A = this chain, B = another copy of it.
Amino acid sequence: MIIVMRHGASQKDIDKVVEFVKLKGRTPHLSQGESHFVIGAVGASQVDPRDFELLDGVREVIKISSSYKLVSRLFKNEDTVVEVNGEKFGGGYAGMIAGPCTIESREQIFECAKAMAEAGVKIIRGGAFKPRTSPYAFQGLGEEGLKLIREAADTYNLAVTSEVMEINQIPLFIKYVDILQVGARNMQNFNLLKELSKINKPVVLKRGLSATINEWLMAAEYILSGGNRDVILCERGIRTFEVATRNTLDLCAIPVVKKLSHLPVIVDPSHGTGLRDKVLPMSLASIAAGADGLMIEVHNKPECALCDGAQSLYPNQFVELYEKLKKLAPVVDKTIG
């Protein structure tokens, strides 16, 4: 940490800062810059820069060490590649996850699974426990839903991903699901992250609605720090002042994350835009920007979907998109799947 004193700070102010640095278990390094006196606070003890900002004569305090380690490219330079059911994410591969927002019925999930398999998809998505803004909205089929999607997936040789909302649900998910997904609202549910750090299955970690990239990587660090290294980051739009779209898809997060971290980063353009007709252009843009995969909502009958039908593609739209993606990928040196 570096403490910059104000122009004209008194010797007494400086002495007091030096004392405080020591009190906090760090070693002070003094140096006189051209216009400002600067005090380095060297050491590994936890400090809060704001504690120093409040001292007299202090102009600015700068923290150097970011707190994530295991997710950093400095810790591991080569890309992490997560592979599930033959589908790869990272290291030049852009994997595909597709399926309905919610598991609604046996018929629906089997039809969706069939359509996905025919399109060449290897991982199906579908929600069993739904986080809904309103307590009066459909909350999902629960364990029954997980059973249905597992059965449908097995029938068509698909892997399954679904959102886990609660520590108590983890055993159920381990039983039925291949990839556990953490939703945007739970990105900083640290207790949940700690439990997911102990399991043996990959985790898709969605970015919180108002999470900075740094906070997102810190949340991933929770999972890696417990021993689970198979984390796939998923950008799904952030909250801004713009109301024309449900969220603002932050595609520049892709190259930013890929520079800072070795983890694969995919995009969910369905939640990121909230409207079916924006999913195709934003899927193409994601891969062009370097994304390691996509998670896309597809429904056999979107107009009858119980949840988020407006952002779900029809199966034939998905097939068309998938074809375009395969043409686009080589231009940016990617392989789909």
Residues of A within 8 A of B (CB): 2, 4, 6-8, 20, 23, 27, 29, 31, 33-36, 38, 40, 42-44, 46, 48, 50-51, 53-54, 59-60, 62, 64-65, 67-68, 74, 131-138, 165-168, 185-186, 188-191, 194, 209-210, 212-215, 218, 221-222, 225, 238-245, 248-256, 259, 272-278, 281-282, 284-290, 303-304, 307-311, 324, 327-328, 331-332
Contacts and interface: CB of A to CB of B under 8 A. Distances in A.
Nearest to A134: B67
20 contacts: A2-B2, A34-B44, A35-B44, A51-B310, A53-B275, A59-B64, A67-B134, A132-B190, A135-B194, A136-B225, A166-B167, A189-B189, A210-B210, A238-B241, A240-B248, A256-B278, A281-B332, A285-B286, A285-B288, A287-B288
A288 B328 contact: yes
Contact of A331 (B40, B304, B331): B331
A251 to B, nearest CB: 5
A332 B168 CA distance: 46
Contact of A284 (B46, B240, B310, B332): B332
Is chain A's interface secondary structure helix, strand, loop, or mixed overall? mixed
A267 B180 CA distance: 36
Given A34-B42, A310-B50, A239 B210 contact: yes
Contacts of A239: 210, 241
Nearest to A219: B133
A201 B225 CA distance: 36
A210 B247 CA distance: 12
A33 B40 contact: yes
Given A250-B242, A281-B255, A282-B255, A4 B64 contact: yes
Given A240-B240, A328-B288, A74 B7 contact: yes
Contacts of A46: 137-138
B252 A277 contact: no
A191 B165 contact: yes
A7 to B, nearest CB: 6
Contact of A218 (B134, B191, B252): B134
Contacts of A194: 135
Contact of A255 (B53, B132, B278, B308): B278
A222 B185 contact: no
Nearest to A245: B252
Given A31-B29, A243-B243, A308-B48, A278 B303 contact: no
A35 B65 contact: yes
A281 to B, nearest CB: 5
A33 B254 CA distance: 32
A244 B213 contact: yes
